[in-house]
Amino acid sequence: MARGTTLRQLISDLRDELRRANSPAASPDDTASLRATINHVIAVIYAANDWPFLQCVYPKIKMNAGQRYYDMPEGMNPDRVLKSIVYWSGDPHPIERGIDFSDYAGYDPEDNERTSPICKWDVRFTGERDQVEVWPLPDDTEQYLRFEGIQKVKRLVADDDICPLDDTLVVLYAAAELAPNDSADKDAKQAMARELLRQLKVRAVSGGEKRYQMGLGTSSKETNLRARSTVRIGR
């Protein structure tokens, strides 16, 4: 069992698990269908748990006075954010996701109403891509927004693309999905896959796997966030 296995090897292992010939010359080329199943299984397993080895702290996003939207850090999945903080006056403060009309009634970005610090963030499609929206509009350049979460996993396309998840788990689930519905082998593979998934979840929690740091090191203050006390600067 290992992470970091190539797509080429996953396809070979899956053929072996299905007891298929491992040479396209000996049987119809099933590479495309096997690749599709592998990617489907990876997506399902990825969604099944907040895997610690995929957890990372993204680089800080510098706030600019009057700027409402910002590009997301590379690899960030906005739906798998575990923590969001704003650095203001030198200290990190937790902020929440979700900006609605009641917020705009207090400080309306359309009217260029600004204050500090920012209190909320959300994701908006701005015409070409999804971006991070912050509220209220910052009135200075002394704030930084930072996220911690489960990073995206890329679809495996090329033979040398690397699987971010456990290879045995992926192969077992893929083999169970492709096995005939009336096959006893299907039930056996599903049972093995479920048990392995359970074990991996337990080990991920008890093994103390560390989060992945993207960018500069985390401030020691960040590990012990202070209770938030917001000071408002008038409009």
Tokens 């910002």 appear where? 70
Tokens 């456990």 appear where? 166
Q: Which two tokens stand for residue 174?
A: 């893929």
Find the helix or strand (DSSP H, E) in which 172 lies.
helix 167-178
Q: What is the dihedral of CA 159, 165, 169, 171, to 10 degrees?
A: -10
pLDDT tens digits, residue range 24-80?
665 668 899 999 999 999 999 999 889 999 999 999 999 999 999 999 999 999 999
Question: With 50 as the cut, is the pLDDT of residue 232 above it?
Answer: no
Long-range contacts of 226-235 (CB under 8 A, 24+ apart): 226/91, 226/92, 226/93, 228/93, 228/94, 230/93, 230/117, 230/119, 232/115, 232/116, 233/115, 233/116, 233/139, 234/115, 235/107, 235/113, 235/114, 235/115
Q: Residue 50 in 3-state DSSP? A: coil
Domain boundaries, the chain: 7-49+155-206, 53-151+211-223
- Per-residue pLDDT, averaged over 201-229, amounts to 54
pLDDT tens digits, residue range 124-179?
999 999 999 999 999 999 999 999 999 999 999 999 999 999 999 999 999 999 99
Crossing angle for the helix pair 184-206 and 167-178, nearest 10 degrees? 150
| Neighbouring residues of 124: CB distance < 8 A, sequence distance ≥ 6 | 69, 130, 131, 133
Task: Write phi, then psi, for 38 (nearest 5 degrees).
Answer: -60, -45
pTM, entire model: 0.79
